């Protein structure tokens, strides 16, 4: 990777400014727009993750209201225990054993 060129600087009306070639300005502006678009995408993804976590919390609460199984289900887990195990796995998937931040 080449050395970053030093921008040309001057003072205009008592204010320090950086002088860019038109193509450099266009490239800088294009990068700014790309970053803005990515920022919006990240905001949307964060909201989707928050919504999914809220949904999982509601499902987890509903699973706790399911009736207990009538017999030991270690060999063939009942629906309640299967769902509890799957929901517990989401915490480890997020790298936060046992809880969500």
Residue-level pLDDT at 82: 82
Length of the chain: 101
Average pLDDT over residues 76-92: 79
User: CA-to-CA distance for 21 and 39, rounded, in angstroms?
Assistant: 27
Residue-level pLDDT at 38: 97
* Token pair belonging to 13: 């009306």
**At 2, is the pLDDT very low, low, confident or very high (cuts 50, 70, 90)?**
low
Give all strands (DSSP E) within 13-74, no chain letters.
15-19
Tens-place pLDDT, residues 45-80: 999 988 988 888 898 888 888 887 777 776 677 888
The pTM score is 0.58
Tens-place pLDDT, residues 10-50: 999 999 999 999 998 999 999 999 999 999 999 999 999 88
Task: Count CB-CB contacts under 10 A for residue 77.
Answer: 13
At 94, give phi and psi (nearest 5°).
Answer: -85, 0
């Amino acid at each position: 990777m080449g050395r970053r060129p030093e921008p040309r600087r001057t003072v205009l009306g008592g204010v320090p400014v950086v002088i860019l070639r038109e193509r450099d300005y266009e490239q800088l502006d294009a990068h700014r727009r790309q970053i803005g678009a990515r920022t919006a995408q990240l905001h949307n993804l964060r909201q989707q993750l928050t919504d999914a976590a809220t949904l999982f919390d509601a499902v987890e609460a509903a699973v706790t209201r399911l009736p207990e199984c009538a017999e030991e289900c270690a060999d063939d887990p009942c629906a309640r225990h299967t769902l509890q195990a799957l929901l517990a796995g989401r915490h480890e998937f997020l790298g936060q054993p046992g809880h969500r931040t």
